[in-house]
Every structure is written in structure tokens, then in C-alpha cells.
Amino acid sequence: MLPVLESLLVLQDRDIKLRQTLKDLQLIPQEEKSISDKLAFQMSEFEALKLRTNQIESERKNLDNEVLSKKTNISKYKTQQFETRNNEQFQALNTEIERAEKAIVEIEDKELELMEKYETAQKAVAVESLRVKEFEKAAQNRKNDLAAKKLALEESKKRLEVDVVDIAAKIDPVELGRYRRLLQSKGDIAIVPVEHGTNCGGCHMKLTQQTILNARSGQRPATCEDCGRMLYWIPA
């Protein structure tokens, strides 16, 4: 293999690793946001559950106040009955008392239903509270992992950038320029192996016999006639 091709392969290896490192770094903020969004959603659901639970208890207390109000009215009606001498008025007050007592029974039935709903809701809140705490812990652990990963990637990025500069400085400018143009135009790799002894490892098209011989000898530059990538031979 030509020495310049060996150097370019090393450079390409560093370029590929650097490109992947940069991609990984770009993904970290997205994942951090995803974790924060999921946590915010969990907290929102939990708060909504607590709000519904409190509303049930508030409704029950309102009914309790209604019962107290009805009982107060009953006491008032009974006092008025005691004070009146009018039989018609007495019967009218008696009707109001019966109506209030009936209303109390209906309200207390509703209260029982709400108490059952409240008890069920409280259990759901307790379960959800534990789940949210576990999710918060897992989210924080993941954020810590991402912070460590980001630090490692940034250090790797610095090392790779130094390697790229050092390696590129030792390569013939003409060949380096050709490699850079190929890398930019192809978007992935500029130097590829000969596949199965007959095909380009980049575009996978069949190579001419002369190109195969050039790549195999390692004494002359070999280039794919279809995609223009530089070629090298991998011994069996």
C-alpha cells in the first residue's frame, strides 16, 4: 500500500470518529430535553391526580355543610312548632322537617359515595407518588450519565481534533486536498476497500481489471471509475 494512502486511512479513521463524536454530542441536549419533558409530564399527571382527589374531598365537605345546614333548619322548625298555636302552621313546619330529613338522607348517601371515591383516589395518589419518586431518581441518574458521557465526548473530541491536525500536516497537500474534497462530496468515507476482489466498497459497482490490479499491487493509486473514491486492497 502506498505510504500516503496508509496515512490517509489513519486520517479517515480519525475523521470518522470525530464526526461520530460530534453527532453524539449534538444528541445529548435532545436526550436531556426528552428526560425533562417526560418528568414534567409525570409531575403534571401527579398534580392533576392530587387536584382531583382534593376536589372530591372538597365536594364531600360541601355536602357535610349542607347536612349541618339542614339540621340547623330542622332545629329551627321544631322550635317554631313549639312556639306556634296554629295547627296549619304546625303541619307546614312538620312538612319542612320531613323534607329536610329526606334531603339529609340523600346527601349522606352521596357523602358515602364520595368517601369511597376519596379513599380510592388517596391510594392512587400514594402509588403515583412512589412512581414519580422512582422516575425522578431514574431521570436524575440518566442526567448524571449524560453529563459524564458529554464530558468524555468533549475530551475525545479534543484529542481527535489534535490527531487530525497532526496527521494532516504530514500528508502531501495535493493528496490531502483530494481526500478532503472526496470526503465532503460523499458525506461518509473517501477511501474504501475492494470488495470481494472485484467491487468498490463505496458504491459497490464492479471495477475494471486494471483498477483491481492497481489496488492489489499497492504501487499505484487506484480510484473507482463510478464514484471516484480511492481504493485499497485487503489481503485475503
Q: What is the pLDDT averaged over residues 120-130?
A: 96
C-alpha cell at 23: 453527532
Residue 236: its pLDDT value, please?
A: 73
- How many CB atoms lie under 10 A from the CB of residue 110? 13
C-alpha cell at 174: 495535493
The total of structural domains in the chain comes to: 2
42 in the same domain as 71: yes
146 in the same domain as 86: yes
Residue 44: its pLDDT value, please?
A: 96
Residue 175: its pLDDT value, please?
A: 94
Residue 197: its pLDDT value, please?
A: 94
Q: CA 182, 188, 190, 196: dihedral to nearest 10 degrees?
A: -140
Q: What is the pLDDT averaged over residues 132-158?
A: 97
From residue 76, alpha-carbon distances to 14, 24, 154, 184, 200 in Å are: 92, 77, 80, 93, 101
Mean of per-residue pLDDT scores for the chain: 95
117 in the same domain as 34: yes
Question: Does position 56 have pLDDT exceeding 80, yes or no?
Answer: yes
179 lies in which domain range? Answer: 172-236
Q: What is the pLDDT averaged over residues 138-165?
A: 97
Residue 101: its pLDDT value, please?
A: 95
Residue 71: give its domain's CATH number. 1.10.287
Q: What is the pTM of this model?
A: 0.73
Residue 122: its pLDDT value, please?
A: 96
